[in-house]
Structure 1
Amino acid sequence: MPALRSFVRRFMRDADEAGDVAQDAAVRALTARHVPTNSQAYRVWLYRIARNAAVDAHRRRAATLVPVEVEEVDPWLIDHRLVTDLSVRQALMRISPDHRRVLLLVDVEELSYSEAGRRLGVPTGTVMSRVARARTALLRTIEQDEAAR
């Protein structure tokens, strides 16, 4: 359960919400009719359930979002590294869940392409192309945000 909670936490902004989603994933797994018997297949299956539970939670939250007014901040008072970090984090939340998931596995968790492929249940080459597309999408999102400012 701690590993599952940690995995889900990468998708969620709030640790409590991540715990709820991990618990929801565990309930889904425990009530499933068909469970893989192979340990590797079981792990991939369980993480896929967790990912789907996180996507469902994001969809539920997106349906209830309320716009918030943001006050102006003097740009000269902000550390450039902080701005970069915030820009990347915001862009990560705006790209597709599939792109975010593969970037989190490879760039944040630092899994190899083959390890990420096993976790996602896809070939290594597929992970490599997904990472390239995800990085392009992330960069495009950051550039759009910069242009909008």
Structure 2
Amino acid sequence: MTQDFVIRKTGRKVLDVSQLERTAKEGVSMDEQSLDVKIESRNVGMTPRWKAEIERRTEALQTDTIRIIHARVTLTKNAHHKKGADNAEALVVVTLPRRRTVTARKESKTFEEAIRSAFQAIEHELDKVEEKRLARNAKATAKRIEKAMALTAV
């Protein structure tokens, strides 16, 4: 049993149908819209509590420095492998600008724990992306200063 929210592809983004209707009514451009989130569940029914938790956590990932274009969350109950106690899985895929993708897949006893640990892993990965960006900017700034100092010394 797969439960999926209806989506429609546009030129640049994948938007929920309700988002498209809101855009048409309000006259808001697609660049001004909020985060695009797609939530799926496989072999389990999606509860409103899980959906609200996922939406809250994906909104919390957005910061002033990290802009998320799209997020996809898939909850899967693995009915085939009942050997272990961990049969609830959460997969979180986040797309950043410049076609950068960050993924986390966590398994746990309950979906709440799997969602929590997957989003913690995504937060950790986004922190690493931000640290790399800051280090790259600092290195570029240092090179510019060094070049300017060399030009003024001549």
- TM > 0.5 between the two? no
TM-score calculated relative to the size of structure 1: 0.32
Which of the two has greater strand per residue?
2
Which of the two has greater helix per residue?
1
Larger C-alpha radius of gyration, 1 or 2? 2
TM-score calculated relative to the size of structure 2: 0.31
